[in-house]
Amino acid sequence: MTATREPSVHGSDALRLMGADIEVPLVSGERRRYVNLDYAASAPALQRVRDAVGDLLDWYSSVHRGAGFKSRASTAAYEGARESIRRFVNARPDDAVIITRNTTDSINLLAGTLPEGTHVVAFAGEHHANLLPWQRCGVRYIAVPETPAEALERLEATLRELPACPDPHLVAVTGASNVTGDIWPIAEMGRIAHDNGARLLVDAAQLAPHAPIDMQRDGIDFLAFSGHKLYAPYGAGALIGERDWLSAGDPFLRGGGAVKVVTIDETVWADLPDRQEAGSPNVVGAVALGVACDTLAEAGMDAIAAEEADLVAYARERLGEVDGFEHYRVWPSDHPRVGLLTFNLGAMPYDLLAAVLSAEHGIGIRHGCFCAHPLMMRLLRVDDAEARRLIDEARAGSHERLPGAARMSLGLGSTRAEVDALADALRAIAADGPQWTYAVNPATDQYEPDPDPRPLPSLPMRLVEHPHAHGESA
Ligand SMILES: Cc1ncc(COP(=O)(O)O)c(C=O)c1O
């Protein structure tokens, strides 16, 4: 077995997370400390972020246009967040840092402001957030490459095939896959893009929380990421990048704050970043994101990445020992990846597996297609005829469950003990099957404990149970 150490940077006080010791009920009536292996979907808040938000709220007020002293303080905090984000990814001093809702919002914003006639090149294995916005533009999708070298070759070949015209070109690629965890060769892609007259957008939703990013060194022209995956779940994300494209046309959203002057016939739009931040900004979210960036930078993203690489290698080894564990990957197993593994366990339905892990073991993972249907179809060997059938069924209004898998994902505070807990649970499930009764809920087409005696926690807010969406997850 690989020699591994228990994470130390991860366990430091500065990186303490909210809710780390929460106990959850099991269907048996016992309570158990929650094992959170679902960071890739959304990560818990850093305590420091929560504390900073608490302090800010005393000073919270409108930003930018208020003359009141609290407005000055809030505006300084909002603008400070922009600076923290810029430093975290080593953006160029003149790059625009636009506060958005999340990665999806950031990429849609860029797609909505591309210069007329831009040719976009993207890979078919992307998260839907970096796949679907381009369908409105002229886009070429490159089939999922088998190796990083093939990704680079195909990118270069595709860029060379683009019509020789003065129209702008954009390469849109993920920093790290939310399905395989593979870290993409961003610096090489930046070089190829630039050599061929294209710009590079990196979807860093999965990369930013887990590995250092250097926009200047790696030639990243645009970068998008989400606060809720970066330990700051307060509803803000960021789009960072070159100003010319982002300020050339009309703004993506039109409204207050994005203008210099308006008459009934004419509007003069504001300069960046205000031009792309119409409406009242999410000050709390931006500040939370800025504090998360500063906190992670202070702890050292290299150290965080090294500990996670160690832990995911340990997880691959431990989980690989379980009978029936099938790990889905595309690139060679020694290729660097962020801390996540996508898998199935024998013939067990993936949603049943997730339900059993939660109900009987207190372990939270993700299951479904991870908003990356084309990549999942490739990994699960769904052929074209079956994909066609699924499309036809969906169009006809059927709620048939899509083929899918389970995904465990790690982050700050994750430990070998948690990986061991998952391995032990999977081993028990593989050997003895579920120890409770489960039924498919017709409203969601997903397995759930039946009955489910687990009470929701007592919280000072209204709680309405919501059936999770059909086979869909981040
Ligand atoms: C690689 C990747 N890109 C984009 C997104 C979209 O992020 P958000 O839902 O925060 O907009 C996700 C979310 O899971 C992701 O994993």
Distance (Å, whole) CA 41 – CA 228: 9
Residue 106 near ligand 1, beta carbon < 6 Å: no
Q: Give 3-state DSSP helix, strand, coil % of the chain, rounded to 5.
A: 40, 20, 45
Q: Over the range 146-157, which residues count as b (16 or more CB within 10 Å of their CB) and which as e? A: eebeebbeebbe
- Which CATH fold topology does 48-298 show? Aspartate Aminotransferase; domain 2 (3.40.640)
Residue 100 near ligand 1, beta carbon < 6 Å: no
Residue 371 falls in the annotated catalytic set: yes
Residue 108 near ligand 1, beta carbon < 6 Å: no
Q: Over the range 177-199, which residues count as b (16 or more CB within 10 Å of their CB) and which as e? A: bbbbbbbbbbebbbbbbeebebb
Residue of minimum CA distance from atom 15 in ligand 1: 205
> In a structure prediction context, what are the per-residue pLDDT tens digits for the chain, which is 474 residues long?
444 445 578 778 899 999 999 999 999 999 999 999 999 999 999 999 999 999 999 999 999 888 899 999 999 999 999 999 999 999 999 999 999 999 999 999 999 999 988 999 999 999 999 999 999 888 999 999 999 999 999 999 999 998 777 789 999 999 999 999 999 999 999 999 999 999 999 999 999 999 999 999 999 999 999 999 999 999 999 999 999 999 988 999 999 999 999 999 999 999 999 999 999 999 999 999 999 999 999 999 999 999 999 999 999 999 999 999 999 999 999 999 999 999 999 999 999 999 999 999 999 999 999 999 999 999 999 999 999 999 999 999 887 789 999 999 999 999 999 999 999 999 999 999 999 999 999 888 899 999 999 999 999 999 998 765 444 556
Residue 130 near ligand 1, beta carbon < 6 Å: yes
Structure tokens at 70: 């609290």
Atom number, ligand 1, closest to the C-alpha of residue 104: 11
Q: Judge residue 79's burial from the number of C-beta atoms within 10 Å of its C-beta, 0-12 exposed, 13-18 middle, 19 or more buried.
A: middle
Structure tokens at 32: 């158990």
Residue 178 near ligand 1, beta carbon < 6 Å: yes
Residue 10 near ligand 1, beta carbon < 6 Å: no
Q: What is the per-residue pLDDT for 3? A: 46
User: What residue spans in the chain does CATH classification 3.90.1150.10 cover?
Assistant: 13-44+300-449
Atom number, ligand 1, closest to the C-alpha of residue 129: 4
Q: In sequence order, what are the residues at sequence separation of 6 or more whose Cβ sits closer than 8 angstroms to the Cβ of residue 255?
A: 278, 279
Q: Count of H helices and E strands in the chain?
A: 13, 19
Atom number, ligand 1, closest to the C-alpha of residue 229: 10
Residue of minimum CA distance from atom 13 in ligand 1: 474
How far is the CA of 182 from the CAs of 122, 199, 202, 338, in angstroms?
Answer: 16, 22, 14, 7
Which one of the listed residues 137, 165, 293, 371 is annotated catalytic? Answer: 371
Is the peptide bond prior to 273 cis by the omega test (within 30 degrees of 0)? yes
Residue 474 near ligand 1, beta carbon < 6 Å: yes
Cα 162 to averaged position of ligand 1 atoms, centre (Å): 28
Residue of minimum CA distance from atom 7 in ligand 1: 103
Pocket test for ligand 1, best of 226, 340, 367, 373 (most atoms within 8 A of CB): 226
Q: Angle at CA 411, nearest 5°, toward 19 and 406?
A: 95
Residue 75 near ligand 1, beta carbon < 6 Å: no
Residue 473 near ligand 1, beta carbon < 6 Å: no
CATH 3.90.1150.10 fits 13-44+300-449, yes or no: yes
Cα 417 to averaged position of ligand 1 atoms, centre (Å): 28
Q: Where are the beta strands (DSSP E) in 242-384?
A: 259-262, 267-269, 325-328, 340-345, 363-364, 366-368
Atom number, ligand 1, closest to the C-alpha of residue 176: 1
User: What residue spans in the chain does CATH classification 3.40.640.10 cover?
Assistant: 48-298
Q: What is the model's pTM?
A: 0.96
Q: What is the per-residue pLDDT for 470? A: 44
Is the peptide bond prior to 185 cis by the omega test (within 30 degrees of 0)? no
Residue 248's CB: how many other CB atoms inside 10 A? 11
